[in-house]
Amino acid sequence: MPSNTFLKLGEEKRKRIEEAFLREFAVNSYDEASLSDVVKKLGIAKGSIYQYFEDKLDLFMYLVHTCNQVKLRYVGSVAAKGFPDFWAYFRKLFELGYQFDAENPLQSHFLHNLVRNVNSPSVRDLYDELMLQSVRGFGKMVAMEIELGRFRDDLPVSTMGFMLFRIGTSIQEQLEVEKEINPGKSIEDNVPVYQGKREVLMQTVDNYIKLVRPAFDK
């Protein structure tokens, strides 16, 4: 966690530093990201970073947690209960995700790139934890839907929960493979991941829902 020194830093400077590191970690993997580069660009001393954070991983984790919290303010603003069925809620999650992306492009890019950090031993645990959290969340929803008699009950909840999680990541992955989005370029241009791609995103979401609905519904 960051030191008091960092937290006392003053809005302006703190944001400037945070954003520089967000950008670095959004462009590079954890291991490739260079603190030396960032401080050079920021025009501050290397040692300062180590007055603000324990080490590279501490800084990285801080960014993960703050970004996560920001995103949670969006996707956590609604509950599954308020929707006619699970799929309406599932769909809404992507709309909120789009909104988060549009209003917090840097944080969105950072979280996007996070998915590519599975490998680094240093952040592997952190990533696994985040994934498990998400998978468990979907698992709970699946259990709820089964309870309500809306989802089939002849398969392990874990399988269905994991599948839902994977559907979410597949959607963004497919858009990338099919060159609809290009995070590498859009971060350079300082624009959101899904800039101008709202329709394409939601169309893809709808396609995926249409596809997998029969797999889950009773």
Q: Where are the alpha helices (DSSP H) in the chain?
A: 4-7, 11-27, 35-42, 46-52, 56-75, 86-103, 105-114, 121-147, 157-177, 183-188, 198-216
48 binds, among a second copy, DNA, none (CB under 5 to 8 A by kind): DNA
Calculate the alpha carbon distances from 153 to 68, 147, 158 in Å.
32, 9, 12
User: Per CB under 8 A, which region of 68-76, 80-88, 137-145, 154-162 contacts a second copy?
Assistant: 154-162
210 binds, among a second copy, DNA, none (CB under 5 to 8 A by kind): a second copy
In the list 48, 66, 99, 195, the residue contacting DNA (rule: CB under 7 A) is 48
Under rule CB under 7 A, how many of the chain's residues touch DNA? Answer: 20
Residue 61: partners with Cβ closer than 8 Å, 6 or more residues away: 1, 126
Residue 105 CB, nearest approach to DNA (Å): 24
- With left for phi above 0 and alpha for psi between -120 and 50, is residue 179 left, alpha or beta? left
57 binds, among a second copy, DNA, none (CB under 5 to 8 A by kind): DNA
1 touching a second copy, by CB under 8 A: no
Nearer to DNA, 2 or 139 (CB): 2
Query: From the CA atom positions of the chain, what is the Rg in Å?
Result: 19
Of 147, 170, 142, 172, the C-alpha closest to 157 is 142
Residue 5 CB, nearest approach to DNA (Å): 4
155 touching a second copy, by CB under 8 A: yes
Give contact residues for DNA (rule: CB under 7 A): 4-5, 8-9, 33-37, 44-48, 50-52, 55-57
